[in-house]
Amino acid sequence: MNSEDRKARARVDLVHISLTPERRWNHTPDAKIDPFGLWFEDNFKSTSPVHFPEEEAAERRAGLVKGAAYIPNMVKLYNQQMSDLMGNFEQINKIPADLLKSVGVERPHVIAALKQKITGLKNLYWKEVFSNLDTIRERLTSKTIDDFQDRMMQNVTVDFTADNIYAVVQWVIANANQYFDAQLLEVYENLTAPKNVKNYKSNKVLVNGKSRWQMRQDNHSHYALEYRLVHEMHQDSEYSYGRVNGLHRNAATFLSDMITIGETLGFAIDNRVEDFEWQPGIEHNFEMSNGKTFMKARSFKNGNIHLKMNRDFMKAFNLQAGRLLGWLQNPEHAAKETGYSAATCKKYLTPTLMQIAPRQLPMLTAA
């Protein structure tokens, strides 16, 4: 409005729409705002799910067909079992009502049982589909996968048809990136502490002497994480429940989430937390399929975890976080700010690095 060259002759309103709430420091996302839930409610009519007995689910799962024509085979098998179910109830329906009543069977109870069986069968097959989204599941952190699967399983009572399956799975592929983005930033910010960061070249704000809390209060930005990291957790105890081979459950979750972020960024990691026997101060090496180290981790009695991370991974991690937070504009700008090579910035700064293509899900491949 007050340009030195000339005044503007028009007012323009700029509108920014975000389906994913802000996830910075003290901002907690509203759990009620979920893109998948909004999309599902607009496209499908859903009722409250009814859980199928686990023992019956296990028996039926043994008959599920895997392979290139996964979805058509699943629908075919579902239709066969649904036909058998309806046939059985049709036989019951042929029994005179007075005879059923004489043996203590009321027709409304039969109808209710049929409805529950139908809903339970749909539940079973939708759950089977979701359980085979491994390409997506392996890229989700523990918290994200719980939230994501809960949301999906709340909507499994829609018709189990090929069109509906393709619609749901393709939506997941198209929109999974926002979950990847959010969880990457969550892990990144959990690692943000004075001893773990180094400022961008243009950032002259001092970090030394500040606490993690002070960094949050100051909304410290424009930094990268170091290759050596210390993740501070609560005091460990050998008597805490849910330990993983001697490792506190929260520490195990944190390390698993680091592996997930690595997998999301294209680093194939062979080891998992469960592969090691954990003792305070003992270092464990997590290797990648190319034989290189992804990270070396040591846990301590005070709850801290010390990490030595793969340098290429940390470059990818820092560049993706910087891009998502709006700190890095392009490869040239990133190279100037971080000191990474232009080739590295060009390789790891791309938004498509974490995207999933339909060809990566075998269930979408036709026979």
Query: Taking the model in full, what pTM does it have?
Result: 0.63
What is the CA 54 to chain-centroid distance, rounded?
25
Average pLDDT over residues 14-43: 54
Q: How far is CA 98 from CA 91, 101, 113, 339, in A?
A: 15, 5, 19, 85
pLDDT bucket at 88, cuts 50 / 70 / 90: confident
Higher pLDDT, 89 or 19: 89
6 pLDDT band, cuts 50/70/90, is: low
Q: Between 345 and 83, whose confidence is greater? A: 345
The string of pLDDT tens digits covering residues 248-258 is 888 999 999 99
Q: How far apart (Å, rounded) are the C-alpha atoms in residues 175 and 170?
A: 9
Distance from the Cα of residue 365 to its chain's centroid: 23
Backbone angles phi, psi at 179, to 5 degrees: -70, -40
Mean pLDDT, residues 213-236 taken together: 84
Task: Write down the pLDDT at residue 137.
Answer: 67
For residue 167, the model assigns a pLDDT of: 81
Query: 116 versus 282: which is more confidently predicted?
Result: 282
User: How far apart (Å, rounded) are the C-alpha atoms in residues 176 and 2?
Assistant: 43
Higher-pLDDT residue of 234 and 48 is 234
Q: Is the dihedral of CA 30, 213, 203, 196 positive or negative?
A: negative
Mean pLDDT in residue range 251-273: 92
Confidence at residue 356, expressed as pLDDT on a 0 to 100 scale: 59
Return the higher-pLDDT residue of 25 and 15: 15
Rounded to an integer, the average pLDDT of 314-320 is 96
pLDDT of residue 367: 39
Asked if 164 and 130 count as a contact pair (C-beta separation under 8 A), the reply is no
- Residue 82 clears pLDDT 90, i.e. is over it: no
The pLDDT confidence band at residue 329, using thresholds 50, 70 and 90, is very high
Over range 141-154, report the average pLDDT.
70
